[in-house]
């Protein structure tokens, strides 16, 4: 694993955007796997700014969504699909045919179609991930099998509690989701794991330095040959001892 530690979330966004930009310049038709959540939004904003400034051409990329809740109405503000569309895909005006997102339709059909879409575009060149405080990647919660493909999952209580903030008061947080499995994630040619804030420090340390175990889903990344971790000082606090 390569580790880039930078003072703050803005630095994480800057370093992450630089890595993505280098990849896309070398391969304009790159296939990018995209996490939602708060962490990568600054990176996505920088990509949009670079495209607008004419310093980067993202018009040829294909995107693959990492995960999404089940049961949310179309356009729900917390849906991963909405986050990705709002922060990156709509501003880039990326054609629908090159957006493969989860979060709509029959779950079993959506899972199978997602795997087919990934294969049809030749696999993922770079998978962008965040990390949950419980060590999840995508919505692969502790205990998830390392060889799983895109599948339906039950969300951990911790995840539902933390993500409560993204929902209106009194609105139920979904209990189910679809996620690319860890097996699918590990097939990406490169992986970029982003982490910001003190709440991620324990999970990041366990993922990077700890035992490889299904109890810490992100520890599976130790089995991948090309992982870059970009963390701010707070999230990297457990890595220096």
Please say which residue, 37 or 210, places its beta carbon nearer to ligand F6R.
Answer: 37
Catalytic residue among 15, 76, 100, 134: 134
Active-site residue 163, yes or no?
no
Catalytic residue among 76, 100, 114, 136: 136
Locus of tokens 């800057």: 14
| Cβ neighbourhood burial of 167 (10 Å; 0-12, 13-18, 19+) | middle
Please say which residue, 137 or 206, places its beta carbon nearer to ligand F6R.
Answer: 137
Q: Minimum distance between the CB of residue 169 and ligand F6R, rounded to whole angstroms?
A: 19
Q: Minimum distance between the CB of residue 182 and ligand F6R, rounded to whole angstroms?
A: 12
Please say which residue, 59 or 158, places its beta carbon nearer to ligand F6R.
Answer: 158
Active-site residue 125, yes or no?
no
Catalytic residue among 15, 141, 151, 232: 141
By CB under 6 A, name the binding residues for ligand F6R: 35-39, 66-67, 80, 130-132, 136-139
Active-site residue 141, yes or no?
yes
Please say which residue, 59 or 214, places its beta carbon nearer to ligand F6R.
Answer: 214
Catalytic residue among 67, 85, 125, 232: 67
Q: List the catalytic residues.
A: 67, 134, 136, 141
């Amino acid at each position: 694993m390569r580790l880039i530690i930078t003072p703050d979330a803005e630095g994480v966004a800057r370093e992450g955007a630089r890595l993505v930009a280098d990849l896309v310049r070398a391969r304009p038709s790159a296939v990018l796997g995209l996490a939602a959540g708060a962490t990568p939004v600054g990176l996505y904003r920088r990509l949009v700014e670079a495209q607008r400034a004419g310093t980067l051409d993202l018009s040829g990329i294909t995107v693959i969504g990492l995960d999404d809740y089940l049961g949310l109405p179309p356009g729900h503000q917390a849906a991963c699909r909405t986050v990705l569309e709002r922060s990156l895909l709509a501003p880039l005006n990326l054609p629908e045919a090159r957006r493969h997102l989860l979060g709509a339709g029959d779950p079993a059909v959506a899972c199978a179609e997602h795997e087919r879409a990934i294969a049809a575009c030749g696999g993922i060149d770079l998978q962008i991930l965040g990390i949950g405080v419980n060590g999840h990647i995508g919505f692969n919660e502790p205990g998830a099998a390392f060889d799983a493909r895109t599948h339906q999952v039950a969300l951990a209580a911790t995840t539902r509690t933390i993500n409560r903030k993204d929902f209106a008061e009194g609105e139920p947080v979904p209990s189910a989701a679809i996620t690319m499995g860890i097996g699918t994630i590990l097939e990406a040619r490169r992986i970029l794991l982003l982490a910001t804030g003190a709440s991620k420090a324990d999970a990041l340390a366990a993922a990077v330095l700890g035992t490889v175990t299904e109890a810490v889903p992100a520890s599976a990344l130790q089995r991948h040959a090309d992982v870059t971790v970009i963390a701010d000082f707070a999230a990297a606090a457990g890595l220096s001892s």
